[in-house]
Each structure stands twice: as structure tokens, then as C-alpha cells.
Amino acid sequence: MSFVLLPLALALLSTVHAQLVGGQYFTRGLAISNAPAPNSEFTVGGTIGVSVDVSGNGRLPQGSWGPNSTLPSGFISLSLYLVSNDHNVTIIDGTDGAFLAGEPGSTVKHLNYVIPNCLPAGNYDYTYYEVSRMNDTMYFGITPIPIRILNPSGPSGECNSTISNPVQTRPQNDSVPAQNPFTGGLALNTTSGSSPSTTFMYVLASLVVSGALSLLA
Ligand SMILES: *[C@@H]1O[C@H](CO)[C@@H](O)[C@H](O)[C@H]1NC(C)=O
Ligand SMILES: *[C@@H]1O[C@H](CO)[C@@H](O)[C@H](O)[C@H]1NC(C)=O
Ligand SMILES: *[C@@H]1O[C@H](CO)[C@@H](O)[C@H](O)[C@H]1NC(C)=O
Ligand SMILES: *[C@@H]1O[C@H](CO)[C@@H](O)[C@H](O)[C@H]1NC(C)=O
Ligand SMILES: *[C@@H]1O[C@H](CO)[C@@H](O)[C@H](O)[C@H]1NC(C)=O
Ligand SMILES: *[C@@H]1O[C@H](CO)[C@@H](O)[C@H](O)[C@H]1NC(C)=O
């Protein structure tokens, strides 16, 4: 590959894959990870401040934020795990939808996750599992973000089955759009086909107003 083509190829690659832009990590789905930043260090017993923008930085309406959004583009479910060869720890179990439904009206969802003392120090993947719909197509995307966990006094307590467990079964094979809709500058259709068009509402409103005026006359 020539040196002229290399930057272009890298630019194309970066639009396909998850990426860090202005301090936010754009996942392979609709979720935008505000925190933790990639390569952050945490100590057991401390907290990971989970912060997820579910609105595409304001581009998705509230009906898209899920869980189980019925709009042509929106979240179905979102789970978060700490993944390593030794332990898989659930931070958010997306099956009850509590995280996405929490903080109603807020475009950013938060959670303070206390890191169990039983975890050995090392590199972990802070991993998003997202099921969502974009332009009426269902996607399932896994996004690992590397973080480091420190445990100065060594693991203590048992990582029993409540703490360490298998990650959820994949609802389908990993499938993500070719381009991230937000960093790729693509619009997403969030208008459901069954809702009345704004033109219809306008006509209805003017009929009501003219009806009221003719009653007054
Ligand atoms: C944790 O999950 C990863 C990815 O699914 C898998 O490779 C690994 O074997 C799992 N580890 C344990 C201890 O289950
Ligand atoms: C979302 O829909 C699935 C499948 O119908 C259901 O199992 C799940 O309980 C629903 N989740 C919420 C939070 O309503
Ligand atoms: C697992 O350990 C935690 C913390 O020590 C404890 O609260 C929980 O009851 C334990 N669960 C089981 C199934 O042993
Ligand atoms: C998932 O991918 C594997 C390997 O490409 C394939 O064998 C399998 O049929 C796929 N499963 C679904 C549900 O598409
Ligand atoms: C989604 O659909 C809209 C409207 O049809 C279109 O403008 C947009 O490019 C599509 N977005 C993607 C990511 O395909
Ligand atoms: C958006 O999606 C709805 C529901 O599938 C569809 O009826 C409508 O035509 C789509 N709009 C555009 C601009 O593609």
C-alpha cells in the first residue's frame, strides 16, 4: 500500500470501529460512553463511575432511549460487563431494563459500580453488549474498552457466582452498521410509520380553530 493511501485507509478503519472523539468513546452501537475513559485505572473497593449517553448527543428522541424502543432507531437492551480470562463480572444486567429506564428524561445514565475485592489485579475489558435497531434493522454489537484494575493488598473474599458469572448468551451474531451513525454523520430515522404526520396534525389544528371561529361568528 502506498504512503498516500495509508492515511485514507486508517481514516476509513476508524469510522468503522469504535473510537474516542472529544473524550467520548463511540461504541459499535448507539451508546456513547462518557466514562470510564479507555486505559483508566481503578482500585478494588473503589467505584467505576459509569456514564452513558443514550441520545446520540441529542440526536435521538426520548422514545429511542429504550428499553425495548419501538421506533425505527432505538435501544432494545444494554448490558455491561468486566471481562477477563479469569472472571466475567456483570456491571449492568440489561434484561430488566432498569439502567436504560432510570433517570427518566436524562440523556445520560449513571451508575456507581463498586469493584469487588476478590478481583485479581490486571487488565480487564469494560464491555458493552448492545441490542438496538437502526433504520428498522436489528443490530447486536459488542464493544470492549480496556481498563486496568489494581489490587494492592491482593484479592480477598470469594468471587462467588453472584459476582463472577458467564457473560449473557449472545442474542444473535455480532452485527454492527458499516459506519457509526454519529461519527459518520448519517441521520437515523426515528419517525415511526404509524404516528400521524406533522402535516396531518397541522390540518387537524386549523380545522379545530376554524370550527371554533365559525361558532363564535
Ligand atoms: C469471560 O468471557 C470471555 C468472553 O466471552 C471468555 O472468553 C472467557 O473465557 C470468560 N471467562 C470466564 C472465566 O468465564
Ligand atoms: C423487552 O422485550 C423482551 C422480549 O419481548 C422481554 O423479554 C423483556 O422483558 C422486555 N424488557 C423490558 C425492560 O420491558
Ligand atoms: C457472594 O458473596 C457476596 C459478597 O461476599 C455475598 O453478599 C453473597 O451473598 C454471596 N452469594 C452467594 C450465592 O454465596
Ligand atoms: C453465526 O455465525 C456463525 C459463524 O459464521 C454461523 O455458523 C451461524 O449460523 C450464525 N448464527 C446466526 C444465528 O446467524
Ligand atoms: C437512515 O434513514 C434515513 C432516512 O431514510 C437516511 O437519510 C439515513 O442515511 C439512514 N441512515 C443510515 C445509518 O443508514
Ligand atoms: C422511517 O421509518 C418508518 C417506519 O418503518 C417508515 O414508515 C418511514 O418511511 C421511514 N422514513 C424514511 C424517511 O425513511
Contact predicate 15/28, CB 8 Å: no
In a domain, 58, yes or no: yes
In a domain, 2, yes or no: no
- The CATH number linked to 40 is 2.60.40.10
pLDDT at 13: 46
* Maximum average pLDDT range among 45-54, 85-94, 203-212: 45-54
In a domain, 87, yes or no: yes
Q: What is the DSSP code (8-state) at residue 142?
A: E
pLDDT at 186: 82
Q: How far apart are CA 57 and CA 79, in angstroms?
A: 20
pLDDT at 198 > cutoff 50? no
In a domain, 3, yes or no: no
In a domain, 103, yes or no: yes
Of 189, 192, 195, 197, the residue with max ligand 6 atoms within 8 A of its CB, to mutate for a pocket test, comes to: 189
pLDDT at 189: 95
* Maximum average pLDDT range among 13-22, 35-44, 86-95, 156-165: 35-44
In a domain, 192, yes or no: yes
**Separation of 183 CA from ligand 4 center, angstroms?**
28
Give residue 126's domain range: 8-216
Question: Which of 4-18, 51-65, 80-94 is the least confident region?
Answer: 4-18
Count of domains forming the chain: 1
**Separation of 205 CA from ligand 5 center, angstroms?**
30
